[in-house]
Amino acid sequence: MRIGWRILLGMALTAALVVAAPGCGGGGDGGGGGSSATVQGTVHDDGTLQPINGATVAVGSETATTSANGSFSLETTSGTRTISVSAAGYQDVELTETLAPGTNSLGAIYVEPELEEGKGAVTGMVTSSGAAAPGATLVSGNARATAKPDGSYALYNMEAGERGITAVSADGTTTGWATVDVEDGETTTGVNIALTLSPPPPPLLQ
């Protein structure tokens, strides 16, 4: 009988280890088992690049709200995490990041404005002498945009129809033009604008 009890005890311990094994390690958004990690960054309008105040950043059940300059800091745990960003009037963004223990900087996060009825969006590149023209301003009617550091831009909520876009370099010395057919509720891509030393004449629209 003494040997039988030892066998039963060994079987019970083995079963307990098998049940416990799946819970080891952690790593999901639940945050179990991870070391402390801080997520920092800023949230910006994808078109104007202006900071967004009051955006919500969430990792699992942990949330933070951006300040007037778009910055946020959120305490969570290390591991692979889904980071959600939401703001009124903008499309939600989800990022999957592997967070290390300590401070993790995400840099600038760009969120896209929601398109209004009867309006569309246009994206492309602004260049000068074949190189990116960061900081260039773009205007089309009431729509405004600023080129990102890589020269890319996005104009949102342009009136549908044939439209002209004016681009001006960050230092105001060069300009460029483009025309595009804007589609209601759609994004037109690949509308590139090259800045020149002498402003070209504005486009003629019917």
Q: Using CA atoms of 96, 102, 108, 113 in order, give the dihedral in degrees to the nearest 10.
A: 50
Residue 37 CA neighbour count, 13 Å, CB half:
24
> Which of the pair, 31 or 132, is modelled with greater confidence?
132
In the chain, what is the greatest distance between 2 CA atoms, to the nearest angstrom? 102
Enter the tokens of residue 8: 């039963």
Q: How far apart are CA 151 and CA 193, in angstroms?
A: 10
Asked if 146 and 137 touch (Cβ cutoff 8 Å), the reply is yes
DSSP 101: S
pLDDT band (50, 70, 90) for residue 118: very high
Residue 59, C-beta contacts closer than 8 angstroms, at least 6 positions apart: 29, 39, 74, 76, 81, 82, 83, 84
Q: How far apart are CA 40 and CA 108, in angstroms?
A: 10
Q: Nearest CA to 206 among 161, 175, 150?
A: 161
pLDDT band (50, 70, 90) for residue 164: very high
**pLDDT (mean) for 83-109:** 97
Note the pLDDT of residue 34.
77
Q: What is the pLDDT of residues 4-32, one digit of tens each?
A: 534 333 444 344 433 333 333 334 554 45
pLDDT band (50, 70, 90) for residue 203: low
pLDDT band (50, 70, 90) for residue 200: low
Enter the tokens of residue 201: 């004449």
Note the pLDDT of residue 3.
45
Q: How far apart are CA 111 and CA 79, in angstroms?
A: 24
Q: How far apart are CA 107 and CA 40, in angstroms?
A: 7
Written as one string, the DSSP assignment of 122-145 is EEEEEEETTEE-TT-EEEETTEEE
- Residues linked to residue 126 through DSSP beta bridges, in sequence order: 193
> Which of the pair, 29 or 98, is modelled with greater confidence?
98
At residue 83, what are phi and psi to the nearest 5 degrees? -110, 120
